[in-house]
């Protein structure tokens, strides 16, 4: 019996070693090509009330997950290679502002980021901002997730083929629309605008024609010599293939971006003195369809400014922007309230700095900065709003401890707080004051450019005077 046991134990040991080797080989192979593949197109949108959202994906190696904001959390924070799910939980958003966070999934050397968006209080949250309908037509349903009063209206362009089955104003959750048959061969689209107060969302409805088409958001895209990211959106719901007609090494698709209809490409800097062009083709073999996008990148000698319109503070400021060029150029400006600051004029990449004076008048004013070199020129439009006047808010309360309300505005400039007990502080949205005796106090806040005030707590407040706000 002993010899037989000896043979069996050796066989078992060999099997264990073999299985371990196979497992190690598979793990090593997967870890050499780490990937995270999502099950579908993810839209991580939370309503103001918060809640939970699950993300499903497959990983080829061990992975970790994290978020970068404290109002949301992710569980679990790690896992092994397999089909996996993480749960995102968002707290209620009590503010008047939309906020976002980033979910980062890392698998070996591969990192993928997804943006989480949480709507602000009383915001409109929709199930989708895009609806696809076949040529046969039918009924579409748009769900407004927040139970707040809202109105909606249809574009004039859709009135002949899209009709509503609802009233024009309601506090409900679902809107239904009938889409007529599309007898033409052309694809058509229209917009439904949903609005509540100053908040609005637009839903675009795409309907195929009798013969489907491949429509692109842009046919021609121009890029500066420094390079950057370009976006191509398909306005078609049919399947398609995408290819670069002539392969170039300066244009690459960003593979981490996940979308069914939108593709992002990275354009590398153009260090040559000649422009260069690439062509990306989208096609569908079933219907014999084809369309292409032309991407042209200018040479180093061109003057390219990323933005040709700037709105500056009415208080004045320093305006900085970058010019991509490899030629010496002249700078002119059309108003004396703009002054160029000294700077070292390096080639290829020039940082320009301008001092903008405060606007002493209540009216908006504009000026133009012109960059010129030989036959090339670029105009940059500068817009400065009018002078912002001081606002005063007075709050009567009976608290021993008082937290200042939050003031906001596009051109808000903090002022002084008078606590009502003979003490003052500079305004800070986190300011809290402790009183020595129980009494009724009047707090005065002076600020400029404030357009909104929000209280974190109304306890103990008996009066708020906004007549000078």
Rg from Cα positions in the chain: 30
Percent of the chain with pLDDT over 90: 14
Whole-number pLDDT of residue 11:
37
Q: Tokens in use for 76?
A: 């679990």
Give CATH for domain 36-118.
2.60.40.10
Give CATH for domain 220-297.
2.60.40.10
Top CATH class of 304-384 equals mainly beta
26-56 per-position pLDDT tens digit: 444 455 567 888 766 566 778 788 889 888 8
82-140 per-position pLDDT tens digit: 778 899 999 988 776 667 778 888 888 888 878 787 777 666 667 666 777 878 888 88
Give the residue among 254, 256, 278 at the shortest CA–CA distance from 265: 254
Name the pairing type of β-strands 416-418 and 441-448: antiparallel
Residue 171 pLDDT exceeds 70: no
CA distance 31 to 51: 34
Contact in structure between 348 and 328 (CB atoms under 8 Å) = no
pTM: 0.34
Residue 8 pLDDT exceeds 70: no
At residue 375 the predicted structure's pLDDT band, cuts being 50, 70 and 90, is low
The domain segmentation of the chain, as residue ranges, is: 36-118, 130-207, 220-297, 304-384, 390-468
Q: Which of 126-130, 247-251, 315-319, 454-458 has the weakest average pLDDT?
A: 126-130
- The residue with tokens 């895209």 is 221
Give the residue among 252, 254, 251 at the shortest CA–CA distance from 276: 251
CA distance 46 to 241: 33
Whole-number pLDDT of residue 420:
93
* pLDDT, mean of residues 402-422: 88
Say if 36-118 and 130-207 have the same CATH topology.
yes
Give the residue among 256, 227, 261 at the shortest CA–CA distance from 242: 261
Domain 130-207 sits in CATH 2.60.40.10: yes
């Amino acid at each position: 019996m002993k010899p037989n046991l000896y043979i069996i134990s050796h066989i078992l040991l060999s099997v264990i070693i073999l299985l371990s080797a196979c497992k190690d080989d598979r793990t090593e192979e997967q870890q050499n090509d780490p990937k995270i593949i999502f099950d579908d197109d993810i839209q991580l949108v939370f309503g103001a009330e918060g809640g939970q959202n699950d993300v499903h994906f497959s990983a080829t190696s061990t992975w970790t997950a994290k978020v970068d904001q404290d109002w949301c959390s992710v569980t679990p924070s790690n896992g092994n290679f397999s089909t996996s799910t993480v749960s995102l939980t968002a707290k209620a958003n009590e503010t008047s502002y939309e906020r976002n966070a980033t979910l980062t999934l890392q698998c070996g050397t591969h990192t993928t980021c997804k943006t989480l968006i949480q709507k602000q209080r009383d915001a409109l949250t929709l199930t989708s901002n895009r609806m696809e309908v076949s040529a046969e037509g039918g009924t579409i349903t748009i769900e407004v997730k927040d139970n707040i009063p809202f109105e909606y209206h249809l574009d004039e362009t859709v009135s002949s083929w899209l009709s509503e089955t609802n009233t024009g104003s309601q506090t409900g959750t679902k809107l239904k629309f009938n889409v007529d048959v599309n007898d033409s061969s052309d694809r058509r689209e229209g917009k439904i605008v949903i609005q509540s107060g100053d908040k609005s969302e637009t839903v675009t409805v795409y309907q195929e024609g009798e013969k489907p088409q491949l429509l692109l958001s842009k046919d021609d895209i121009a890029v500066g010599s420094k390079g950057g990211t370009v976006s191509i959106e398909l306005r078609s719901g049919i399947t398609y293939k995408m290819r670069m007609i002539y392969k170039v090494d300066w244009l690459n698709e960003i593979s981490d971006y996940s979308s069914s209809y939108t593709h992002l490409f990275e354009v590398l800097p153009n260090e040559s003195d000649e422009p260069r062009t690439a062509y990306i083709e989208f096609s569908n073999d079933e219907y014999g369809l084809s369309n292409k996008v032309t991407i042209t990148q200018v040479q180093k000698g061109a003057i390219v400014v990323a933005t040709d319109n700037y709105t500056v503070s009415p208080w004045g400021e320093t305006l900085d922007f970058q010019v991509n060029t490899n030629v010496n150029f002249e700078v002119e400006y059309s108003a004396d309230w703009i002054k160029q600051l000294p700077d070292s004029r390096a080639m290829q990449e020039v940082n320009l700095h301008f001092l903008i004076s405060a606007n002493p008048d209540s009216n908006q004013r504009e000026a133009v900065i012109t960059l010129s070199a030989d036959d090339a020129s670029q105009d940059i439009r500068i817009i400065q709003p009018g002078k912002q006047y001081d606002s005063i808010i007075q709050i009567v309360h009976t608290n021993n401890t008082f937290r200042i309300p939050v003031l906001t505005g596009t051109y808000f400039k903090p002022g002084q707080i008078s606590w009502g007990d003979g003490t003052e502080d500079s305004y800070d949205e986190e300011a809290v004051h402790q009183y020595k005796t129980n009494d009724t106090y009047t707090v005065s806040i002076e600020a400029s450019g404030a357009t909104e005030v929000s209280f974190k707590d109304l306890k103990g407040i008996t009066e708020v005077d906004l007549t000078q706000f």
